[in-house]
Amino acid sequence: MKKNHFISTSLLCLIAGLAGAVEVNVVGLFNDKAMVSIDGGKQQMLRVGQATAEGVKLLSSDSQQAVLEIDGKRRTLSMGQSTGYAASAPSGSGGGGNTVVLAADGRGHFLARGGINGFPTRFLVDTGASFVSMDVAEARRIGIDYKRGERMVMHTANGQIVAYKVRLDSVKVGDINLNFVDATISEASMGGVTLLGMSFLNRVEMNRADGKLTLTRKY
pLDDT at 1 over 50: no
Domains of the chain, earliest start first: 22-85 (2.30.30.830), 88-217 (2.40.70.10)
- In this prediction, residue 97 has a pLDDT band, given cuts at 50, 70 and 90, of low
Say if residues 123 and 174 touch (Cβ distance below 8 Å).
no
Is pLDDT of 213 > 50? yes
pLDDT bucket at 52, cuts 50 / 70 / 90:
confident
Burial of 31 (0-12, 13-18, 19+ CB in 10 A): exposed
| DSSP H or E run through 9 | helix 9-19
pLDDT digits (tens, 9 = 90+) for 81-90: 777 554 443 4
The Cα–Cα gap between 186 and 159 comes to 13
- 115-174 per-position pLDDT tens digit: 898 888 889 999 989 999 999 999 998 899 999 999 998 776 677 889 999 999 999 998
pLDDT reported for residue 2: 44
Contacts 24+ apart (CB under 8 A), 197-205: 197/126, 197/127, 197/128, 197/129, 197/130, 197/131, 197/132, 197/133, 198/3, 198/127, 198/129, 198/130, 198/131, 199/130, 199/131, 199/132, 200/132, 200/171, 200/173, 201/125, 201/127, 203/178, 204/176
> Mean pLDDT in the chain?
81
When computed from its CA atoms, the radius of gyration of the chain, rounded to whole angstroms, is 18
Cα 6–Cα 132–Cα 145 angle in degrees, nearest 5:
100
At residue 211, the pLDDT reads 86
For residue 13, pLDDT over 90 is answered with no
Average pLDDT over residues 2-8: 49
pLDDT at 94 over 80: no
- Give the length of the chain: 219
Instruction: State pTM to two decimals.
Output: 0.60
Least confident of 34-38, 76-80, 91-95, 183-187: 91-95
